[in-house]
Amino acid sequence: MELIDIYAPVKSELVKVEEKLQSIGKVDFPHLAELVSYSLTSTGKMIRPALTFLSGKFFKYEKNREVIIGMASAIEVMHIATLVHDDAIDHSDTRRGRTTVYKLWGEEQAVLLGDYLFAKAGQLTADTGNLRVVRKFSSTLETISHGEINQAYNSFNLNQSLDDYYARIARKTAALFSLSTESGSVLSEAPEKSVKTLMDYAYNLGIGFQIVDDILDFTGTEEQLGKPVGSDLRQGTLTLPSFMILEKYPEDNPVKKLCKNRGGQDEINRAVVIIKNSTIVKECYDTAQEYCDKAKAALRFLPEIESRTCLEAIADFVMKRNK
Amino acid sequence: MELIDIYAPVKSELVKVEEKLQSIGKVDFPHLAELVSYSLTSTGKMIRPALTFLSGKFFKYEKNREVIIGMASAIEVMHIATLVHDDAIDHSDTRRGRTTVYKLWGEEQAVLLGDYLFAKAGQLTADTGNLRVVRKFSSTLETISHGEINQAYNSFNLNQSLDDYYARIARKTAALFSLSTESGSVLSEAPEKSVKTLMDYAYNLGIGFQIVDDILDFTGTEEQLGKPVGSDLRQGTLTLPSFMILEKYPEDNPVKKLCKNRGGQDEINRAVVIIKNSTIVKECYDTAQEYCDKAKAALRFLPEIESRTCLEAIADFVMKRNK
């Protein structure tokens, strides 16, 4: 199943999210309007808002539809805000094949725009009128920032374990996936047990999603990735494939050398070759598959409606996507 | 009256705010704990939390004291988060006489720490359980970011008016002052009319405060300011004294030259000399005084209790402070 088919039951809601995002750009200050509209023009997969809607569909969805659209929009805006800041601090020129806000308007504007978008996401969340969701929104932003600070602090650091990696991607990625399903289900008045089930699904999906992202950073083409190959390693970020190089070739390997020299394109190229020509890709995919299987297994507690099929299909899509 | 005397009725609450801020630094990740503790070690004037408490004191304060302490802490954390981001994008080495997070840990960590602190401030706000305050918290962050984006966008720009300046400082400074008294009064169950009165007070106080800040940036010493003299102009930020140079010496003046060259220490030095040796300082202070008088006048609608005397004294303090 392609994303367009998976999203079919929530297609009109996703259009509403895009409209809401564009309406945020209607500000009475042309420069800011341009910044906001540019950054919020959807080019991503919209997985997080889709998760929010599909989670809501199991419960009292119709009567809460407008509120859930607001929350799904808040989550997408928060996600984009974190990307705008990431690009600013990583000095990334392209993202999803598009020139970044950082590259077009500079670091200063990118940092301030990110703050503006966090504020907008906070407002959309507050507009739900649901304090549990409001609390979780802020604690999720805390979790993500914690993960990002950890990642930046540990760049080029060989003294870290695979556990550090998993803790980091749980914070950086799984937390927001989890907020997506938690908010969708809470706002549609789901029983607590079902909320937990959907959070469990999203958490595991998020870990699987991030592992695949980390594989693609080595195995994808620049065109597929929308950014240069090996970007993680260039930033000194050790991900699962890098950890496996370190484990399999403890004596002499490009990741070790790159960390010691704090950079080096030759080492990145060598790492790409090793990863592509070893069992590392398969082993990483197997690990990602375990998480996606766990995600799907969690869904067994939910009724077999169309939404469940879609959530299962998202877990399959995460595994086979190439961008 | 000195600040210590003005704050006397809310001294124990301000100590609680400091404790709350320090408790945020108790994180199970030593590097993050260090960053947070360093940034939240209070060295500022704590005017915003004091405004929150003093506003609450007119109404049902005692029964809501704990909630108000949380909100006052949220406001101070949000304020510090904006300063951490400001220093990162301005590449400032010192603030309030202390080395900045940017200087000590770099731009990347400063941006992410700011995000982390915004999240923490959001959590403290959500913990009040008051949706009006939660909404206003996010919209105030939006307003501040809007003001900052405007300031950065208009740096070294001669095609702006005094109205642009006032609109900018209203967003950058007065909005958070206004949130301080609004939240303090709302959380102590003030009638709407009194909330508006206290917001009116704080808004005018905030404008007066910022004008004095902008004067001191030229007339203070580096020791008093805790940062180099003429920092605003160095960033290309035109403030009231600069606008007055432009107005009084339309043909040839250092501000015009600085904007055209996008910098120049000689021009900053010349601007400082002109400002100090003209009526500009007095005229700017007169303007600030008008706002502080308006602030005090707003208080006439409130009962004459100790808090009112303190709020009046803050308006006087704002005018005579030299740092």
Residue A152, pLDDT score: 95
* Three-class HEC string of chain A: CCHHHHCHHHHHHHHHHHHHHHHHCCCCCHHHHHHHHHHHCCCCCCHHHHHHHHHHCCCCCHHHHHHHHHHHHHHHHHHHHHHHHHHHHHCCCEECCEECHHHHHHHHHHHHHHHHHHHHHHHHHHCCCCHHHHHHHHHHHHHHHHHHHHHHHCCCCCCCCHHHHHHHHHHHHHHHHHHHHHHHHHHCCCCHHHHHHHHHHHHHHHHHHHHHHHHHHHHCCHHHHCCCCCHHHHCCCCCHHHHHHHHHCCCCCHHHHHHHHCCCHHHHHHHHHHHHCCCHHHHHHHHHHHHHHHHHHHHHHCCCCHHHHHHHHHHHHHHHCCC
pLDDT digits (tens, 9 = 90+) for A112-140: 999 999 999 999 999 999 999 999 999 99
| Interface mutation vs chain A, best among B79, B83, B108, B235, most A CBs within 10 Å | B108
Mark yes or no for CB contact B137/A122 under 8 Å. Answer: yes
**Hey, are the CB atoms on B111 and A85 less than 8 Å from each other?**
yes
Quote the mean pLDDT of chain B.
Answer: 95
Mean pLDDT score, A6-31 = 96
Is residue A280 within 8 A of residue A248, CB to CB? The reply is yes
Q: Which of A85, A92, A112 is best to mutate for the B interface (most B CBs within 10 A)?
A: A112
Span B117-145, pLDDT tens digits: 999 999 999 999 999 999 999 999 999 99
Q: What is the pLDDT of residues A50-62, one digit of tens each?
A: 999 999 999 999 9
- Compute the nearest-CA separation of B135 from chain A (Å): 5
Q: For the beta carbon of residue A94, count every other beta carbon within 10 angstroms.
A: 16
Residues 6+ apart with CB under 8 A from B243: B162, B165
| Percent of all residues in chain B with a pLDDT value above 70, rounded to a whole number | 99
Please check the confidence at residue A247 and state whether its pLDDT lies above 80. yes
- Residue B1: pLDDT band (50, 70, 90) is confident
Q: Do B150 and A32 touch (CB under 8 A)?
A: yes
B277 has which bridge partners?
none
**What's residue B226's pLDDT?**
84
Q: In the prediction, which pLDDT does A253 show?
A: 92
List chain B residues with CB under 8 Å of A135: 123, 126-127
A42 pLDDT above the threshold of 70? no
Q: CA of A167: which chain B residue's CA is closest?
A: B29
Q: Quick one: pLDDT at residue A218?
A: 95
How would residue A44 be classed by pLDDT, with cut points 50, 70 and 90? confident
Q: What is the pLDDT of residue B76?
A: 97
Residues of A in contact with B123 (CB under 8 A): 135, 138-139, 142
With a cut of 70, say whether residue A206 has pLDDT above it: yes
pLDDT classification of A47: cutoffs 50, 70, 90: very high
Give the residue from A77, A105, A153 with the most B CB atoms within 10 Å of its CB, the best one to mutate: A153
Place A317 in a pLDDT band, splitting at 50, 70 and 90. Answer: very high
* B52-83 tens-digit pLDDT: 999 999 999 999 999 999 999 999 999 999 99
pLDDT by residue (tens digit) across B262-310? 989 999 999 999 999 999 999 999 999 999 999 999 999 999 999 999 9
Nearest CA in chain B to A107: B89
Which residues of B lie inside 8 Å of A (Cβ-Cβ)?
A: 27, 29, 31-32, 35, 82, 85, 88-89, 107-109, 111-116, 118-120, 122-123, 125-127, 129, 131, 134-135, 137-139, 141-142, 144-146, 148-150, 152-153
CB contact under 8 Å between B115 and A29, yes or no, is no
- Please report the pLDDT score of residue B42 as a whole number: 67
CA–CA dist B135, B156 (Å, integer): 34
Contact between A206 and A175 under an 8 Å Cβ cutoff? The reply is yes
> CA geometry: angle at A259 spanning A253 and A264, to 5°?
80
Interface test with A, best of B31, B39, B115 (most A CBs within 10 A): B115
CA distance B297 to chain A (A): 32
CB A58 within 8 A of CB A194: yes
Chain A nearest-CA distance from B148, in A, is 7
The conformation of residue B172, written as its DSSP 8-state character, comes to I
What would the pLDDT profile of A154-201 be if each residue is shown by its tens digit? 999 999 999 999 999 999 999 999 999 999 999 999 999 999 999 999
Measured between CA atoms, the residue of chain A closest to residue B31 is A153
Long-range contacts of A215-223 (CB under 8 A, 24+ apart): A215/A240, A215/A241, A215/A281, A215/A284, A215/A285, A215/A288, A216/A321, A216/A322, A216/A323, A217/A241, A218/A271, A218/A272, A218/A275, A218/A276, A218/A281, A219/A272, A219/A275, A219/A276, A219/A281, A220/A322, A220/A323, A223/A97
Taking the C-alpha atoms of residue B197 and residue B298, their distance in angstroms, rounded to an integer, is: 6
CA distance A138 to A145: 11
Q: If you average pLDDT over every residue of chain A, what do you get?
A: 95
- Residue B190 sits at the vertex; the CA angle it makes with B186 and B195, to the nearest 5 degrees, is 70
Chain B residues closer than 8 Å to A113 by CB = 145, 149
Q: What distance in Å separates the CA atoms of residue A146 and residue A293, rounded to the nearest whole number?
A: 27
pLDDT of B88? 96
Q: What is the mean pLDDT of residues B142-168?
A: 96
Q: What percent of chain B has pLDDT over 90?
A: 92
| Residue A320 Cα, gap to closest chain B Cα (Å) | 32
* φ, ψ of residue A99 in degrees (nearest 5): -65, 135
